[in-house]
Amino acid sequence: MMTSQKHDFAAAAIRIEDAAPALRLSLRVKPAHRDAVGRALGLDLPARVGQRAQAGDIQALCLGPDEWLIAAPEGAPLADAARAVYADAPHSLVDISDREITLRLSGPAVLDLLAACCPRNLAAMAVGSAARTVFDSATVILWRDGPADFRMDVWRSFAPHVRSLLAQAQAEIAAGL
Amino acid sequence: MSRYRLQGKGRVDHSAPVSFTFDGKTYQGLRGDTVASALLANGVHLMGRSFKYHRPRGAVSAGSEEPNALIGTSRGAGRFEPNTRATVQELRAGLVTESQNKWPSLSFDVGAINDRAYMLFSAGFYYKTFMWPKSFWDKIYEPVIRGAAGLGKSPTEPDPDRYASRYLHTDVLIVGAGPAGIAAALAAAQSGADVTLVDENAEMGGSLLSDPAVLIDGKPAWDWVDAQLGRLRAAGVRLMTRTTAIGYYHQNMLGLCQRLTDHLDSPPKGAPRERMWRVRAGQVVLAQGALEKPLVFDGNDRPGVMLAGAAQTFLHKYGVKVGDNPAVITSHDSAYHAAFDLADNGARVAAIIDTRESPRPDLLDGARKRGIEVLPSHTVTTTRGRLRVKSVRAAPVRGTQVGTGRDIACDCLLMSGGWTPSLHLFSHTKGTLAWDGQTFLPDRKTEDCEIAGAGRGLWGYADVLADGAAAGLRALEGLGRAGHQASFTVANDRPGSGVSHTELPTDGNAGKARAFIDFQNDVTAKDIRLAVREGMRSIEHVKRYTTNGMATDQGKMSNINGLMIAADALGKEPPQVGLTTFRPPYTPTSFGAFCGYLRGETFQLTRKTPIDPWAEANGAVFEPVAQWRRAWYFPKAGEDMHAAVLRECKATRASLGIFDASTLGKIEVAGPDAVEFMNRMYTNPWTKLQPGRCRYGLLLGEDGFIRDDGVIGRLSPDLFHVTTTTGGAARVLTMMEDYLQTEWPELDVWLTSTTEQWATVALNGPNALAMLKPLVEGVDWDDFPHMSCAECTVAGLPARLFRLSFTGEVGFEVNVPARHGLALWTALIEAGKAYDICPYGTETMHVLRAEKGYIIVGQDTDGTVTPGDAGLDWAIGKAKKDFVGKRSLSRPDIVAKGRKQLVGLLTEDGSLLQEGAQIVLDPNQPKPMKMVGHVTSSYQSTMGHPIAMAVIEGGFDRMGETVFIPMPDGVRKAKITSTVFYDPQNERLKA
């Protein structure tokens, strides 16, 4: 009678899609050599956790004081570029393209979908930022690409659990309650 | 339609009848009814039997605090629920309900014999009665008590409903949508704050729904509520009905249970029944109102005796007159309004019995106008009526003297002992309470919360609305936002006050009075006084001795009455006796709501490897290992586990086995200081390990005990590929990261988990090399001996290839990027057909490694085993000046003689030992025997006899000795041997 949990059924559609495989690299480097490695990769590495930077189709996300996630199209020659500055700017650049799979989650009710299992205040997350957080008991990285457009990187073996939870939440949202 | 339903009255839909059954009989109610209001509309007051005495009971309240009217409800197959409050359960078409705690029927119940024998069942009777003879306890007392215990029947089928969960972050959460809560929401919704208003009822409005004649800002109460809810909705306030705030936890986190479908005739497909909200609120406003208190007198529990406010609610919300001929007993002004409203709707009020000397003149006036007799300074000494109250005996009180009473006929008795502020959620926060002479009020706060309205003892709509608005504004200001103070004008207000009582005075035998305090648990005033006489001093002890307040309603009605009487008996002030602690949940909450999604396939996170689909398709039996499910063995038709494992073992030793090792933990250790880091972490020396070579690594804790192990490959001078045990992966990475960040931040080395980057397939057997060679490119086979590694391609896939063995046969581990794992596996299976390749699971892996004496950390070690104990001294870099755990290895008790050491065991009779079995040196010694160790691993082997590993005190010095393993079916004899049972010279690795 007086519940505000109303959903516009036509608009409540949630899309859950698998993103195409991409090159993902875990970059670890101390602050003194951050700029040098960033230059080699072709972008300014952001300094604040959660901040993203983009140059062309290469994206960098700061995950920790000395940790970045680099995403780029498959085949991008980033490892070679970084290796060229390794002697002067020691770092670790590990290919983790296959460690995670990426789900693209979008639609007007996507915040409700994520709120089913993610304790973080995602409504307050700035568009264009990203965060390492949890979805139920799985560690995930959430990229907010638009107001109703997220990417979720989840470790491959956790994906069936996460997919099943997403499907349950999607069904309940589709039921309108 | 029944004569108790008032045409056109209430908020129910008179044009929408709803059929339901109660104890097999079909009744009609209206859309918007609860089961209780619908039964009352049909003249049914008798709704259940009490727990201990099986006394007939009816609804005493109209809300979630109901202790009596507990029913079983069934909404279809598997959807039976016991102890549902009839005052909360909304009608839905086809709802099946039944009364509880009765046999054979509600109106004639054999268990009511307990009521006749009530003198035997005083407080604490079970502590006293069943003590003797002691031997009766197990066979007689306990089974009988268990049979009689509990209320309602447990459901027997799995719950087919779905339950959901959701997190919510909101600036202001307001609990309770009565006048105070609505006013608070209006205030908080200024300046764009995110506001959430929740109410446990189906409709918002709280007490205003039961007081429609009140005018706010010139509008009748219901119109005002509608208008304000419209404003709130327009302002974007989240309005949630049927949503109970069940708990208030640290840092303004609250749990809300939202009931979504129980009231719907046909819930939408896929809809969850309930949703648990975990809310983090910037500010909280508690506007939960107050609960009416019963008065305590003999026979205050008969069907038809109910709270005056409940009768008012049934009248106005549901259009139900609870009786034609009510009497009223009160110590608070509010009951007059209930009497007046019933009189104005055609009831003939028999009398208003007021315990107070001088009722307010305007109330006396109102009674006179309606022809209602008022009896001030009167008490009620008893009631009559078996299944429904028939009369009440009122008697005048002069000082402490109770005069001659008179019986007043009635068909219901409305009582009011005043109102208790709902402090439950506030108490969850450990906020302190203050006694104001009548009741407890919220005092010192521990969280960012405001308490508004009747919840902090205010009465009258003008005061409550102003207080709610002020609380909402304070919450807003607490967020650093500003707003203005709203004001409300109220006409036809119903302010009031009252006094608190212990038991009402009586001229009867107080020792025989059935004056109930806790209706559900059948606790009487006499029980409380008995508990005090028997030495209980703390209210917590009184509660547990009498079970007062321990029923499903958690003492919502009984706590204050119990306290008043206990304090009186102790001769103390109530705050000196104290109040028991309220604990979550506020009202009974389904297990389903707590479980949420964590059932069925999402009960617990289960990790699966890229090769898992193949294993499943090929009939693998799985076992859980850490969070993973791993293929345990691959039985063929007709094989049991033992046969399958033996076949897999033999096939691997004879030719070729293939194993999914993807769950092994993998850590990339990279950077100029990688080798220095490895030297510090692991016991082994790493400096001289050449790129392209592997080494077995042993990891200790600071205490010198084995933590983990694994084969580690050096891929380049600055890059190590570390493997860990499956279960140890996360722990090892965390430990390494801890040392790196806190002890050695100067090192230029970094750690990255690559467990899931790589799918790992192990190939073992004399034909492994021959089979693999043609598939590999980029490896110089002339320089790829045992314990080598290389980056290359396998079956055309980019790979890291390791030559190592955990079986004693020639072995390889092929790592490919995880997306290719299944492709690699199927390619190897295909190519291996020429060698009768045999997929094997974790059990075969365990047997094969045990035959070689390779330990499994966590199975053969238990956190107290040093490298020396495990025979792994060879893995320690003796020349290294330090590594984690090194200093501990020279502690006196670590170097002392007689430590438990890992040895092999062979049974004399060829029987299989049980893992975990204890070992003794002399089986004939008296019990308790001295146990010198235990079996850590035990398997049937490929050598035709079982093998076992064990830790035994001084085991290395006892080679060849016989030890004994006492088992329930006899003592086993076993000979101590080396742990290497198979190919001790490692000839097979050199092939």
Task: State how far the Cα of B106 lies from the Cα of B387, in Å rounded to an integer.
Answer: 10
Cβ-based contacts of A116 with chain B (< 8 Å): 164-167, 597
Task: State the smallest CA–CA distance between residue B707 and chain A in angstroms.
Answer: 24
Whether B385 is covered by a domain: the verdict is yes
Interface of A with B in 51-110 (CB under 8 A): 66, 90-100
Cβ-based contacts of B606 with chain A (< 8 Å): 160-161
Is there a contact between B240 and A90 if contact means CB atoms under 8 Å apart?
no
- pLDDT tops 80 at residue B143: no
Task: State how far the Cα of B657 lies from the Cα of B641, in Å rounded to an integer.
Answer: 17
How confident is the model over B452-456, as a mean pLDDT? 97
Task: State how far the Cα of B111 lies from the Cα of B416, in Å rounded to an integer.
Answer: 30
Of residues A10 and B859, more confidently modeled: B859
Mean pLDDT of chain B: 95
Cβ-based contacts of B607 with chain A (< 8 Å): 157-158, 161
Confidence band, pLDDT 50/70/90 cuts, at residue A2: very low
Range with lowest mean pLDDT among B6-20, B41-55, B246-260, B327-341: B41-55
Closest CA to B308 of B349, B254, B360, B255: B349
| ipTM of the modeled complex | 0.93
Structure tokens that stand for B113 in this block = 């014999």
Whether B369 is covered by a domain: the verdict is yes
- pLDDT tops 60 at residue B191: yes
Q: Which of A123, A157, A176 sits opposite B607 (nearest CB)?
A: A157
pLDDT, one tens digit per residue, over B856-888 is 999 999 999 999 999 999 999 999 999 999 999
Hey, where are the domains in chain A? 23-95, 99-174
How confident is the model over B21-36, as a mean pLDDT? 97
Task: State how far the Cα of B243 lies from the Cα of B253, in Å rounded to an integer.
Answer: 15
pLDDT, one tens digit per residue, over B275-322 is 999 999 999 999 999 999 999 999 999 999 999 999 999 999 999 999
Measuring CA to CA, how many Å separate B434 from each of A176, B437, B642, B897?
Answer: 45, 9, 70, 65
DSSP string, B797-830: EEEEEEE--SSSS-EEEEEEEGGGHHHHHHHHHH
Structural domains of chain B, count = 5
State whether CATH 3.30.1360.120 applies to domain A99-174: yes
How confident is the model over B546-551, as a mean pLDDT? 91
Confidence band, pLDDT 50/70/90 cuts, at residue B393: very high
Residues B331 and B268 both lie in one domain? no
Task: State how far the Cα of B731 lies from the Cα of B737, in Å rounded to an integer.
Answer: 10
Whether B59 is covered by a domain: the verdict is yes
pLDDT attached to residue B126: 64
Residues B556 and B579 both lie in one domain? yes
pLDDT attached to residue B129: 65
Q: Which of B593, B609, B633 is a domain's end point? A: B593
Structure tokens that stand for B628 in this block = 């993973």
pLDDT attached to residue A10: 44
Q: Which of A26, A164, A169 sits opposite B752 (nearest CB)?
A: A26
What is the percent of chain B where pLDDT is above 90? 89
CB contact, 8 Å: A32 with chain B? no
A113, closest residue in chain B (CA to CA): B166
CATH of the domain at B74: 3.10.20.440
What architecture (CATH level 2) is domain A23-95? 2-Layer Sandwich (3.30)
pLDDT, one tens digit per residue, over B930-948 is 999 999 999 999 999 999 9
Structure tokens that stand for A170 in this block = 């999607």
Measuring CA to CA, how many Å separate B638 from each of B616, B635, B649, B656, B845?
Answer: 18, 8, 18, 23, 22
CATH of the domain at B520: 1.10.10.1100
pLDDT attached to residue A7: 42
How confident is the model over B881-896, as a mean pLDDT? 96
CB contact, 8 Å: A22 with chain B? no
Q: Which of B593, B622, B657 is a domain's end point? A: B593
φ, ψ (nearest 5 deg) of residue B620:
-60, 145
B669, closest residue in chain A (CA to CA): A92
Is there a contact between B162 and A176 if contact means CB atoms under 8 Å apart?
no
CATH of the domain at B317: 3.50.50.60
pLDDT attached to residue A103: 98
Confidence band, pLDDT 50/70/90 cuts, at residue B375: very high
Q: Which of B167, B239, B606 sits opposite A115 (nearest CB)?
A: B167
The torsion of the CA quartet B157, B162, B167, B170, rounded to 10 degrees, works out to: -110
Residues B466 and B407 both lie in one domain? no
Cβ-based contacts of B272 with chain A (< 8 Å): 172, 175, 177
Task: State the smallest CA–CA distance between residue B837 and chain A in angstroms.
Answer: 26
How confident is the model over B482-511, as a mean pLDDT? 93
Q: Which of A2, A66, A168 sits opposite B597 (nearest CB)?
A: A168
Q: Which residues pair with A104 in a beta bridge?
A: A17, A151
Asked if B28 contacts B17 with a C-beta cutoff of 8 angstroms, the reply is: yes
Q: Which of B162, B271, B607 sits opposite A158 (nearest CB)?
A: B607
Asked if B293 contacts B319 with a C-beta cutoff of 8 angstroms, the reply is: no
Task: State the smallest CA–CA distance between residue A60 and chain B in angstroms.
Answer: 17
B819, closest residue in chain A (CA to CA): A98
Confidence band, pLDDT 50/70/90 cuts, at residue B134: confident
Is there a contact between B270 and A172 if contact means CB atoms under 8 Å apart?
yes
Task: State how far the Cα of B106 lies from the Cα of B32, in Å rounded to an integer.
Answer: 26
Structure tokens that stand for B547 in this block = 């079970």
Residues B254 and B168 both lie in one domain? yes
Question: Which amino acid is it at B718?
Answer: D
Cβ-based contacts of A136 with chain B (< 8 Å): 597, 602, 605
pLDDT, one tens digit per residue, over B124-133 is 766 666 666 7
Asked if A6 contacts A112 with a C-beta cutoff of 8 angstroms, the reply is: no
How confident is the model over B971-977, as a mean pLDDT? 97
- For residue B889, the tally of other CB atoms under 10 A from its CB is 19
Strands (E), B461-562: 490-491, 516-518, 523-524
> Given CA atoms B105, B111, B117, B118 in this order, what sign does their dihedral have?
negative
Is there a contact between A2 and B167 if contact means CB atoms under 8 Å apart?
no
Closest CA to B557 of B353, B416, B451: B416
How confident is the model over B479-483, as a mean pLDDT? 95
Question: Which amino acid is it at B724?
Answer: T
Residues B464 and B529 both lie in one domain? no
Confidence band, pLDDT 50/70/90 cuts, at residue B720: very high
Task: State how far the Cα of B534 lies from the Cα of B536, in Å rounded to an integer.
Answer: 6
- For residue B321, the tally of other CB atoms under 10 A from its CB is 25
Whether B847 is covered by a domain: the verdict is no
Residues B17 and B123 both lie in one domain? yes
Measuring CA to CA, how many Å separate A110 from each of A16, A158, B282, B361?
Answer: 9, 20, 23, 61
In terms of residue numbers, what domain contains B986? 897-991
Cβ-based contacts of A4 with chain B (< 8 Å): 233, 237-240
Of residues B122 and B326, more confidently modeled: B326
Range with lowest mean pLDDT among A57-71, A99-113, B74-88, B963-977: B74-88
How confident is the model over B646-658, as a mean pLDDT? 98
